Chains A and B, each alone.
Chain A
């Protein structure tokens, strides 16, 4: 059994950045400090395999809904996890046996660890996204038929909300409450048994995050970093070049129900045919188009790595002139099923194109 201690935090933070192109290495010091403090107080968190739990063991997913900016301005106090879990337990009439991550990527990777430390509960090595997706209903949990509710949500001010609704309405209702509450809320959701999770969760997410993080924090040259990422997470380099354009002009089809504005990054390749790599996104990078051909798409993770400084570049920090490697990290196989692509493929984000792996009919 692995444990996660304060010493593992730098690796967790670095790993979470790779899987979250929106934040990149945006510094969430408040969250990092609170997580470290909870880990020091509650001791290391046990990272357990799902199979080691009793089939009837009750679990809930922990994750935050909200934006990075409010989280930087109003960092968590450390009381939120306990309030949220206790509220959910009160609603369910039963104590939880373990916690799972909503998604072991971005800030939520830390919130799950912080919650497990605060409540001294084991953290199951799995999650429901394997990356960052904008909606809390875009999970393999939901895809497997798990109900998102009842769920609890807690704000920085200590407001506690318990919600019983369907996936879609839960997202909308929570979003409205979250705006009023200060920009983010910590949630405990998808209450389910270990048996239910067996088919619903992406296994090994947190340990994968740790491995990636260790690579990023210890790599000294570009070659070994790219090789390491290729072997641990099957990362594929699709091109290297200089960022020549950043834009906000992209539009997508359908109603806008995502919280972020579309953006685009254009990378001019160094050598050979000097292909143009256009990355389209809404906070997260969602689509990679090389010379007009879709080369990569959500739910696979697209990320930018600064070639010189060997660090992840988020959409917040990328600038024209940066020299970058563009990587694709394939998503969990569940996401590549027709149902997975319907929920989190490019068309779910309003890009009327096929995922490159989807029905290669032509």
Chain B
């Protein structure tokens, strides 16, 4: 009779995963690969001798009169090459019975109502496609009911037994689901890619199967595919929510910084405006980005992951936040920021500036301005840098200079000097001399050369038409050297 069946017989594993056996207590459950051709409800042990191979043997009546009877049934089932034995739960299966099941490699399940289970099993075994379709349909309905990414992945984890699923970003960050997925690499893996709202691939939905058959893998893959659209919609919704919130907060912060009165709205947003603040400004390393930058949501997410209680507001190509506490110190804040920049999974390289502590809204405004200047300095130094305004002092001003434009002008103004074959040496010496307020001794020490060498370089600089003695020229010369050295633009 089994010859006429489609090759799509359910395995014991599948009956466990989405069939009636999912509610059963299992013993010797490592041997679930066998297929189930039919279900036999057995009330006397002798009836097992008539079972076809690959039967699921369900015990009740005198065939389930005690542990000894279950053990006899296991043995007879083994002799008949049955796929599994199902016993009533009033029998207390002990470790010795479990051991026998393991030794015979006959899975043993314990259920509350064996005759009823036999009926359900028969129905399931008789129609494999229907069983799979039911599971798939149930998942589809539940996907529709769930709105968050976490809940959608949760449907797979709870409804598809034997499968653990997780939503994982390209760089391996688990967004939702079981973080253990893929860690051991033991089971069969199925994965489908999930697009973000922009249509680009955003993450992978990965499922790990405790045991697999080709048809079961196919079913799981179908379910994962069904989850894709709800996931994309969900992430779109949450991004929209983030965008809306950040837009509102940006407006609010701008009003506050420009001296407007929005204390009430700030309180609604959960911002603390009174007390001692230390402001923080995050900036992309080495470049300026727009406030509506596409990376804003991801930065907001990572920031909230690390500092759930702190605001994060995108303003003018930077992201503003502040700590409020009586004992807060910029050094401590910088420490936390360094850790955040090093560990958070950021979409772009970020740097940070920290302001000097300030009291109340007035102090906060000043602290934010300071942090912004410090961040500008930090952004020149590369990703992960954190600068404290308090340590920078007036140096922070330099961050505001349009270095690129100054360097371009300097190339024209100091054309002769830049044309020299040893231009770099001469410009470096000139900068050192100006830094040291004209002291050739200090400049030599700073450059690590003899004073006479400095004197000879000064002669060569003068020979290129640079007047070192005119007080009118000195600031301009100093700026020119600073800009050229910062941009390396004499190399043309």
Measured CB to CB, the residues of A under 8 A from B are: 244-245, 247, 249-253, 262, 264, 266, 268, 273, 276, 278, 280, 287, 289, 291-294, 350-353, 362
B94 CB-CB contact with A under 8 Å: yes
| B63 cross-chain contacts in A, Cβ below 8 A | 352
| A266 cross-chain contacts in B, Cβ below 8 A | 94, 96
Bound Cα distance A280, B78 (Å) = 22
B76 CB-CB contact with A under 8 Å: yes
> Are A247 and B92 also in contact (CB < 8 A) when A253-B65, A276-B99 are?
yes
| B67 cross-chain contacts in A, Cβ below 8 A | 247, 249-250, 264, 278
In whole Å, how far is A12's beta carbon from the nearest beta carbon of chain B? Answer: 33
In whole Å, how far is A206's beta carbon from the nearest beta carbon of chain B? Answer: 34
23 of the cross-chain contacts (CB-CB < 8 Å) are A244-B96, A245-B95, A249-B66, A249-B91, A250-B68, A251-B66, A252-B65, A264-B68, A266-B96, A268-B96, A273-B103, A276-B100, A278-B67, A280-B66, A289-B68, A291-B104, A292-B76, A292-B78, A292-B104, A293-B75, A352-B62, A352-B69, A362-B49
Chain B 71-109 interface 0/1 with A at a Cβ cutoff of 8 Å (1 = within): 111111010000000000001101110011001100000
| B73 cross-chain contacts in A, Cβ below 8 A | 292
User: Looking across the interface, which residue of chain B has its beta carbon closest to that of A252?
Assistant: B65
B45 CB-CB contact with A under 8 Å: yes
In whole Å, how far is A338's beta carbon from the nearest beta carbon of chain B? Answer: 17
Q: Which of A252, A253, A262, A276 contacts B96 (CB 8 A)?
A: A276
In whole Å, how far is A271's beta carbon from the nearest beta carbon of chain B? Answer: 15
B151 CB-CB contact with A under 8 Å: no
> Are A291 and B103 also in contact (CB < 8 A) when A245-B94, A278-B96 are?
yes
Bound Cα distance A289, B65 (Å) = 14
Do A249 and B99 touch (CB < 8 A)?
no
User: Looking across the interface, which residue of chain A has its beta carbon closest to that of B92?
Assistant: A249
| B92 cross-chain contacts in A, Cβ below 8 A | 247, 249
Bound Cα distance A287, B62 (Å) = 16
19 other A-B residue contacts (CB within 8 Å) besides A293-B75, A294-B72: A244-B95, A245-B95, A245-B96, A247-B67, A249-B92, A250-B66, A251-B65, A273-B103, A276-B99, A276-B100, A280-B66, A287-B68, A289-B68, A291-B75, A291-B104, A292-B75, A292-B76, A292-B104, A352-B44
Do A292 and B71 touch (CB < 8 A)?
yes
| A351 cross-chain contacts in B, Cβ below 8 A | 65, 68
Q: Which of A291, A294, A352, A353 contacts B100 (CB 8 A)?
A: A291
Bound Cα distance A291, B72 (Å) = 7
User: Looking across the interface, which residue of chain B has its beta carbon closest to that of A266?
Assistant: B96
In whole Å, how far is A268's beta carbon from the nearest beta carbon of chain B? Answer: 7
Q: Which of A251, A278, A352 contacts B71 (CB 8 A)?
A: A278
In whole Å, how far is B74's beta carbon from the nearest beta carbon of chain A? Answer: 5
In whole Å, how far is A4's beta carbon from the nearest beta carbon of chain B? Answer: 39
Bound Cα distance A328, B95 (Å) = 26
In whole Å, how far is B259's beta carbon from the nearest beta carbon of chain A? Answer: 82
User: Looking across the interface, which residue of chain B has its beta carbon closest to that of A277?
Assistant: B96
| B49 cross-chain contacts in A, Cβ below 8 A | 362
| A289 cross-chain contacts in B, Cβ below 8 A | 68, 71-72
Q: Which of B44, B68, B71, B95 has the most CB of A within 10 A?
A: B68
| B76 cross-chain contacts in A, Cβ below 8 A | 292
| B96 cross-chain contacts in A, Cβ below 8 A | 244-245, 266, 268, 276, 278
| A293 cross-chain contacts in B, Cβ below 8 A | 72, 75
In whole Å, how far is B223's beta carbon from the nearest beta carbon of chain A? Answer: 39
| B69 cross-chain contacts in A, Cβ below 8 A | 352
Do A353 and B45 touch (CB < 8 A)?
yes
In whole Å, how far is A276's beta carbon from the nearest beta carbon of chain B? Answer: 5
Q: Which of A268, A289, A362 has the most CB of B within 10 A?
A: A289
| A352 cross-chain contacts in B, Cβ below 8 A | 44-45, 62-63, 65, 69
In whole Å, how far is B410's beta carbon from the nearest beta carbon of chain A? Answer: 90
In whole Å, how far is A115's beta carbon from the nearest beta carbon of chain B? Answer: 38
| A362 cross-chain contacts in B, Cβ below 8 A | 49
In whole Å, how far is B96's beta carbon from the nearest beta carbon of chain A? Answer: 5
Bound Cα distance A293, B45 (Å) = 11
User: Looking across the interface, which residue of chain B has its beta carbon closest to that of A278?
Assistant: B68
Do A262 and B99 touch (CB < 8 A)?
no
Bound Cα distance A134, B339 (Å) = 80
In whole Å, how far is B253's beta carbon from the nearest beta carbon of chain A? Answer: 71
